[in-house]
Amino acid sequence: MKQSTKYSLTVGGRELTAELGKFAEQANGSVAVRYGDTMVLATAVMNKTPKVGGDFFPLTCDYEEKFYAAGKISGSAFIKREGRPSEEAVISGRLIDRTIRPRFNHQIRNEVQVVTTILAFDGQNDPDIPALVGASLALSISDIPWDGPTAGVRVGRINGKFILNPTYEERMASDFDLLITGFSERINMIEAGAREIPEADMAEAIAWGHHEIKKLIDFQKKIIAEHAVPKAVVPVAEPSPELVAFMREKIFRQLEDAMYADAPKLEKYALKDAIEAEWKAMAQEKFGDTITVNSIEYVFHEAVNEIVHRELLQKNKRPDGRAADEVRLLSAEVAIVPRVHGSGLFQRGETQVLSVVTLGAPSDEQRFDTMEGEFKRRFMHHYNFPPYSVGEVGRMGSGGRREIGHGNLAERALFAIIPPREEFPYTIRVVSETLSSNGSSSMASVCASTLALMDAGVP
């Protein structure tokens, strides 16, 4: 077995250790990160050939919880093997994805998979922080093109004092649960739940957390300097100046008019799609096999981005004509669904969400058997995003990663205002159905759920 190398840093009063060269040698990059007695193996792998026919960067982030990490065997009488990832695992995987994705070249079409596997869990230190550090290091020391490193920290506050990476017990007593990720220069992801604290306090906590992130970045840079290998040269179709000039000559003004047309969302999308189809035909006719379809599509979508950014930053104008601080027309109704315990319909512009509340007995609480332990939940928010909400045909069924993530986002927003069990002993389930979407259906779910909870008589 190869000789491994270890590096350590004190983070929040506990030792964080990164070990390289011992595990998963065939991955492009791998590192084991230990924080307290929580241990995570992070691997990063990139396919050698590009994915054919894709129009996006194919990145997958898998966060794998293992019962053995906590010295447990699944409580199921029939199934002892780990199955579908828990909601917490999905949310942690999305956290890593949102942090690392912006630092890739989005023209890459080679599939990249980052897997973080929880090998040990001590019951105190949440694995998501070492998993994030491990993912960053695995990518950084590999030959996968990536502009890292990155890091993340969790910030809490008890009795007015900030706490770095609070334990599970400390998080229960904290004013807020703030998780931020970023780089030396800036923050790129914030996720939080709080007890309605002042905005200035949250800004102070973010700045404090970013200072701690910089220490983790410096720690990683020392490791990367000693272990990084040259980055692979991945063929990326950079659009030629001639193609960009041709686009500006033929469709740019037409695209501007379509993007800012006074029309509903679907009509504007139809206009944009027609222009894109026309553009592809013109470009292929003029340039033939000298350019790729990916280059043609990339130039078009970059033009859309340029138009929207320019109009907003220079003219304070959004595609629907509103200023940056102008709110769309709001409407709200309650008690619109018969026989249910509570219902609320919230609409903001073309985004419409129906939320329905069901109250149950304490025995209806949801039970969980996870790596982190067995526990119950008396308040649940479930979010659905059917394809018809955006005028499309698609798969129906159980919630996917996006629906789980958005449902959790709204649940965290509502949790602080749910009355304690001593005042309201009922189990509460809220389901938010996205009926139409044109911007932030998750926040519309918070509003619709608030209406439904009040209609159900929840104090």
Contact 263, 272 (CB under 8 A): no
Q: What are phi and psi of 419, to 5 degrees?
A: -65, 150
Span 117-140, mean pLDDT?
96
Query: What is the per-residue burial (b if ≥16 Cβ within 10 Å, else e) of 416-438?
Result: eebeeeeeeebbbbbbbbbbbbb
Instruction: Report domain extents, the chain.
Output: 5-227, 241-315, 330-455
Mean pLDDT for the stretch of residues 422-447 = 94
17: β partners: 8, 34
Whether the full predicted model's pTM is greater than 0.95, yes or no, is no
- Calculate ∠ Cα 131-135-140, nearest 5°: 150
Query: How many other CB atoms are there within 10 angstroms of residue 276's CB atom?
Result: 19
Share of the chain above pLDDT 90, in %: 62
Band (pLDDT 50/70/90 cuts) for residue 343 is: very high
| pLDDT at 285 (0 to 100) | 86
Nearest-angstrom CA–CA distance, 177 and 272: 41
Better-predicted residue by pLDDT, 175 or 77: 175
Mean pLDDT of 391-412: 86
For residues 106 and 234, what is the distance between their CA atoms, to the nearest angstrom? Answer: 12
pLDDT the model gives residue 53: 66
Residue type at position 269: Y
| pLDDT tens-place string over residues 354-394 | 999 999 999 999 888 778 777 888 999 999 999 999 888 98
What the block records as the tokens of 307 is 């138009």
Predicted local confidence at residue 1, as pLDDT: 66
Taking the CB of residue 392, how many other CB atoms lie within 10 A of it? Answer: 8
Q: Alpha carbon 418 to chain centroid distance? A: 25
pLDDT of residue 409: 86
CA 64, CA 85: separation in Å to the nearest integer?
Answer: 7
Fold matches, 5-227 and 330-455: yes
> pLDDT tier at 206 (50, 70, 90 boundaries)?
very high
Quick check: 119 pLDDT over 90? yes
345: β partners:
333, 354
Fold (CATH) for 330-455: Ribosomal Protein S5; domain 2 (3.30.230)
Give the model's pLDDT for residue 165: 96
What are the pLDDT digits (tens) for 15-45?
A: 999 999 999 999 999 999 999 999 999 999 9
Reduce the DSSP state of residue 409 to 3 states and report it: helix
- Would you say domain 5-227 falls under CATH 3.30.230.70? yes
Q: Where are the alpha helices (DSSP H) in 228-264?
A: 241-250, 252-259
Q: Residues 6 or more apart from 247 whose CB is under 8 A from it?
A: 279, 283, 299, 300, 303
Q: According to the model, what pLDDT value does residue 367 have?
A: 86
121 contact partners, CB below 8 Å, separation of at least 6:
38, 69, 70, 127, 371, 372
> What pLDDT does residue 322 have?
87
Q: What is the mean pLDDT of the chain?
A: 91
Reply yes or no: is the peptide bond before residue 149 cis, omega within 30 of 0. Answer: yes
Residue 288 carries which DSSP code? G
**Where is pLDDT greater, at 220 or 286?**
220
Whether 267 shows a pLDDT value over 90: the answer reads: no
Pairing of strands 110-120, 59-64: parallel
Q: Does domain 241-315 have CATH number 1.10.10?
A: yes
Instruction: With residue 47 as reference, give the H or E element that holds it.
Output: strand 38-50
Query: What is the structure's pLDDT at 231?
Result: 95
pLDDT in tens, 52-87: 766 788 999 999 999 999 998 887 778 888 888 888
Position 54 scores a pLDDT of 67
DSSP for residue 398: S
For residues 321 and 257, what is the distance between their CA atoms, to the nearest angstrom?
Answer: 12
